Amino acid sequence: MKNILKIIILITLIISLLIAIYTTQENGFYQYVRWLVFLSGIYFCYFYYKSSTENTLLWLFLVMIVLYNPVFQIHLGDDAWKMFDGVIILISSYSLLERSEKVLNPLFDLRDKIGSFIDKLPLFFKRIINLILSVIFMISIFFIFKEVIMIIIVPILSFVIEAYKYSS
């Protein structure tokens, strides 16, 4: 039951942060996200402190609490918040995968059955399936990290273009 609660909290957190990254919302929604991240961070800090197996995740959730504190707010630009939202999505996804393995064993069994079915297919069909899955994976990675890529690459490219203009 505790694992299911943690999974529900993490999924809610991930979905809310994805909405915050990819849509423009009213200020109230961002306050909701701030409270959700803050309270989830407190809950998971307590959990990782009690289990004392993952000190890294404990520290990451502590940083998350400080950054998303709704009482003593830290004011950053939209791009910075989107970057932090993406990082928290990654941390939450890792924690979700760690938690969900025990709860979702039937899905892993299904995955193994599908894998054994794919192993019986001819090589041509295996390559087609791998190509389709690779394309789906790359598209999803692009959409997840689009904001982070734009935050990093655009300033670098503009700097290179300006440096090229002044050098010639």
Rounded Cα gap, residues 154 and 156, in angstroms:
5
Query: 95 with 121, same domain?
Result: no
Domain finish residue from 52, 85, 103: 103
Q: By residue range, what is the domain housing residue 36?
A: 1-103
Q: What is the pLDDT of residue 135?
A: 72
- Tens digit of each residue's pLDDT (9 = 90 or more) over 21-44: 676 777 777 788 888 888 888 888
Q: What is the pLDDT of residue 18?
A: 73
Query: 26 with 67, same domain?
Result: yes
pLDDT at 72 over 80: yes
Query: 7 with 39, same domain?
Result: yes
Q: Environment class of residue 39 by beta-carbon count within 10 Å: exposed (0-12), middle (13-18) or buried (19+)?
A: middle
Query: 9 with 68, same domain?
Result: yes
Query: 11 with 27, same domain?
Result: yes
Please count the structural domains in the chain. Answer: 2
Residue whose pair of structure tokens reads 């809310």 in the numeric block: 16
